[in-house]
Structure 1
């Protein structure tokens, strides 16, 4: 039995190598194609922190929370869908060592659909003593569908390239033997502070009548690259 096993092993290996070799030895053409596009983020997540220390303990987090909820609703934001509580914390360490009152804080995530709305939110919350706001992340809602569209365009581009290369040779382009793809998107604003909107909010302290600047976030670069091996007939 041991001899038989030793005999079968190289035979199986040889078969596998033979199949691979047959694939490589076929007349083929290999080409790569890349397509990309830029999209504006339409999901902008703001991180909002409410803390007693922002008002030196004069206003409780619960009251600030209620004021925030009313302010956002007055701006047309559906707080029941767009605002979520991320965590609730208390500074127990400071209380333990210094025997002071516990300072409560609450952390929220608010999603809006444009940079202009984000600017308005920051200005509005600044007016009610809530200024600890930062950009959490940005997203494009239809990213999955967009990637599929780009992949399809890349495949078509690869075929056009292959046809252009085989035409001068008077060779017919056969079916695809192998396809691989690599998709990627670069979001320049993830994990950055919302600096320009924060400056706008601070400026509003001098003149509350000033409207927020109508700006846009830098667009997200979405790209896909395909590698296709075509059979040559």
Structure 2
């Protein structure tokens, strides 16, 4: 049994060595290419925290909930699709536990699709005595399709570079014999902003014309990079 295992290992190693040798013996050119682009986020997540503490315990969380729901509905927000309750456990100690003072509170996540709507939400809720509105994160909904498109452009760019390097010396680039994808997956980090808080804005006066806040979110950088080896013919 041991002899058979040793024979199999020897044959397997020999086959790998032969493949590697054949690969190295071929004339080839190796290139690397990277392409990137910036996209505006189209999924903006806001965290809304309702706390009796903010109104000095004059307004209950239930009343704040009703005010929030009414205001968001008036702004065209689909509450069933765009609003969800968060687990407050992670935020409880940070925001609402002051020595022995335990404050009744609720936390919601709101999804909006553009910066203008986000600004309307922030101003509208502020005027309903709801000022704890945080930008949680931003995303781009068609990220996967964009990544594939960039990878296609990156490999074409790699071949173009190979041609530019071989044509001056009278040689041609053949088929690819090796392609390696070095694309990273941390795309949305550029749009993440968990520490941003908007609070303390002045309320609008009666009959005052609403002007959206001039909010603009950072664009998300998406990139793809490849290494490739092409035959030289």
- Is the contact between residue 204 and residue 210 of structure 1 (CA under 8 Å) also seen in structure 2? no
Q: Which residue of 1 aligns with 2:120?
A: 120
For each residue in 1:153-205, what CA deviation from the matched residue of structure 2 results, as whole angstroms up to 9, or x when unmatched? 1111111111111112222221111111222436334133335xx26x61446
User: What is aligned with 2:195?
Assistant: 193
Deviates more, 1:110-119 or 1:85-94: 85-94
2:42 and 2:139 in contact (8 A); partners too: yes
Post-superposition offset of 1:9: 3.2
> What is the aligned partner in structure 1 of residue 148 from structure 2?
148
CA separation in 2, counterparts of 1:230 and 1:103?
Answer: 66
Q: Report the counterpart of residue 29 of structure 1 in structure 2.
A: 29
SS state at 1:29 partner: strand
CA distance in 1, matches of 2:232, 2:149: 27
Q: Does 1:39 align with 2:39?
A: yes
Is 1:220 equivalent to 2:220 in the alignment?
A: yes
Structure-2-length-normalised TM-score: 0.85
Change (3 A) 1:191 1:217: closer
Distance change >3 Å, CA 87–CA 15, structure 1 → 2: closer
SS in structure 1 opposite 2:135? Answer: strand
* Cα offset, 1:6, TM superposition: 3.7
> Greater CA deviation, 28-37 or 164-173?
164-173
TM-score (norm 1): 0.85
CA contact (8 A) 2:55 2:129 kept: yes
SS in 2 for 1:188: helix
Q: Secondary structure at the match of 1:35?
A: strand
Report matched runs for 1:55-66 at 5 Å: 55-66=55-66
Alpha-carbon distance, 1:55 to partner: 1.9
Distance 1:193-1:94 versus aligned 2 partners, 3 A rule: closer
Q: Which residue of 2 aligns with 1:166?
A: 166
User: Retained in 1: the 8 A contact 2:44–2:139?
Assistant: yes
Q: Is the 8 A contact 2:171 2:232 kept in 1?
A: yes
Match of 2:180 in 1: 180
The offset of 1:91, in angstroms, is 7.4
> 1:186 and 1:86 mapped to 2: Cα distance?
21
Instruction: Measure, in 2, the Cα distance between the counterparts of 1:231 and 1:19.
Output: 15
Q: How many residues in Structure 1 have an aligned counterpart in Structure 2?
A: 227
Q: Which segments of 5 or more consecutive residues in structure 1 lack a partner in the other structure?
A: none
Q: Which moved more, 1:12-21 or 1:120-129?
A: 12-21
**CA pair 171-91 structure 1, distance change in 2 beyond 3 A:** closer
Structure 2 residue aligned with 1:202: 201
Distance 2:92 2:40 in 1: 39
Query: Where does residue 111 of structure 1 map in the other structure?
Result: 111
Root mean square deviation of aligned Cα:
2.8
Q: Which runs of 5+ in 2 are unaligned?
A: none
**After the TM superposition, which of the residue ranges 175-184 and 143-152 deviates more from structure 2?**
175-184
* Segment drifting more, 11-20 vs 69-78: 11-20
